């Protein structure tokens, strides 16, 4: 747990994949913290704006009254500050670390935007492109697992690591998108290695608790996310 006097706060939004990543990292390291849920849209708190004046986005980790922003940077910070507790999150081997960072970046920069097209845009051709790109992305991650991680239970080896955290936080949005669109994306027949990996991750009970339930994600989409999207980008 965090040492006495080392107050840790996390500013987040429970459905954000990037916030989920930080929660899992804190859990892996056994760090106690105060979680402060933030509002989506334009109702940002003064604390969030003060803590992240550049992007005004979650997650923000506040440690000893000092804010750290951006999930990748936060996770690296957690891994280094609490290096003596829990498993290492980032691989110690430079090459393995580079591979993990590359694929996590691919998920953020390519897979996640493609997924959002399916439920965000109105043009059918763009939706179709999003579906195609999502299948391609999952296929490439499946190939990467087979090539580099097949003999390991997790991307991080024997323990959950950085890429495991990044992929799991993306996967909960995949499941939400499947339910909203009626399109099966995470097909066990097409991606058997990833399906087995997902079963192993779900067996880690303490980490699974930080993954939002699909029905709750769907409810948030209809009540909060979609109205925000429709208001901010009515022509998409």
Successive 10-residue mean pLDDT values, the chain, 236 residues:
69 97 96 94 90 97 97 97 94 93 97 96 94 97 89 90 96 96 95 95 90 96 91 58
3-state DSSP assignment of residue 233: coil
Give the whole-angstrom CA distance, residue 58 versus residue 81. Answer: 20
C-alpha 232/C-alpha 149 separation (Å) is 41
Residue 228 and residue 142 in one domain: yes
CB 117 within 8 A of CB 127: yes
Any domain includes 89: no
The pLDDT assigned to 234 comes to 47
Which pLDDT does position 231 carry in this prediction?
Answer: 83
Helix or strand run (H / E) with residue 73:
helix 71-81
**Which of 41, 58, 81 is a domain's end point?**
81
Q: What is the CATH number of the domain that holds 137?
A: 1.20.1050.10
| Whole-structure pTM value | 0.92
Same domain, 65 and 121: no
Where does a domain end: 31, 53, 81?
81
- Residue 17 sits in a domain of what CATH number? 3.40.30.10
72 and 189 in a common domain: no
Give domain status of residue 194, yes or no: yes
CB of 19 within 8 A of CB of 172? no
On whether both 58 and 172 belong to a single domain, the answer is no
Tell which of 81, 102, 119 closes a domain.
Answer: 81
169 located within any domain? yes
Paired residues of 61 in beta bridges: 10, 68
Nearest to 86 by CA among 206, 169, 175, 232: 206
Of the candidates 30, 34, 28, 62, the residue with the CA atom closest to the CA atom of residue 48:
62
Both 37 and 129 in one domain: the answer is no
Q: What is d(CA 112, CA 235) in angstroms, rounded to the nearest whole number?
A: 21
Q: Are residues 106 and 13 part of one domain?
A: no
Q: Which domain holds residue 98?
A: 94-232
100 and 169 assigned to the same domain = yes
What residues contact 117, with CB distance under 8 A and at least 6 apart?
126, 127, 129, 130, 133
| Among 133, 226, 135, 118, CA closest to 182 | 118
Looking at the domain assignment, is residue 101 inside a domain?
yes
Residue 17 and residue 124 in one domain? no
Domain identity same for 28 and 55: yes
What is the domain count for the chain? 2
Q: Are 121 and 76 found together in one domain? A: no
**Which pLDDT value is given to residue 233?**
59
Question: Do the domain assignments include residue 3?
Answer: no
In a domain, 212, yes or no: yes
Task: Note whether 158 and 211 are same-domain residues.
Answer: yes
Measured distance CA(220)–CA(199) in Å, rounded:
25
- Whether residues 118 and 61 fall in one domain: no
- Alpha-carbon radius of gyration of the chain: 18
């Amino acid at each position: 747990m965090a040492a006495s006097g080392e107050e840790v706060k996390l500013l987040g939004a429970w459905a954000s994949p990037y916030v989920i990543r930080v929660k899992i990292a804190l859990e892996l390291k056994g760090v106690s913290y105060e979680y402060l849920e933030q509002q989506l849209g334009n109702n940002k708190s003064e604390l969030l704006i003060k803590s992240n004046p550049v992007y005004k986005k979650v997650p923000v980790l506040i440690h000893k009254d000092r804010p750290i922003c951006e999930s990748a940077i936060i996770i690296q910070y957690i891994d280094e500050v609490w290096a003596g507790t829990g498993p290492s999150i980032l691989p110690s081997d430079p090459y393995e670390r580079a591979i993990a960072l590359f694929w996590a970046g691919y998920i953020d920069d390519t897979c996640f935007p493609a997924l959002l097209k399916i439920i965000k845009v109105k043009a059918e051709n763009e939706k179709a492109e999003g579906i195609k790109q999502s299948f391609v992305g999952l296929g490439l991650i499946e190939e990467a697992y087979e090539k580099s991680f097949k003999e390991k239970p997790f991307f991080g080896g024997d323990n959950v690591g950085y890429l495991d955290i990044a992929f799991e936080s993306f996967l909960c949005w995949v499941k939400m998108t499947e339910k909203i669109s009626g399109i099966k994306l995470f097909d066990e027949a097409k991606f058997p290695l990833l399906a087995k990996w997902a079963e192993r991750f779900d067996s880690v009970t303490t980490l699974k608790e930080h993954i939002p339930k699909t029905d709750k994600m769907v409810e948030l989409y209809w009540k909060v996310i979609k109205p925000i999207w429709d208001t901010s980008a009515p022509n998409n």
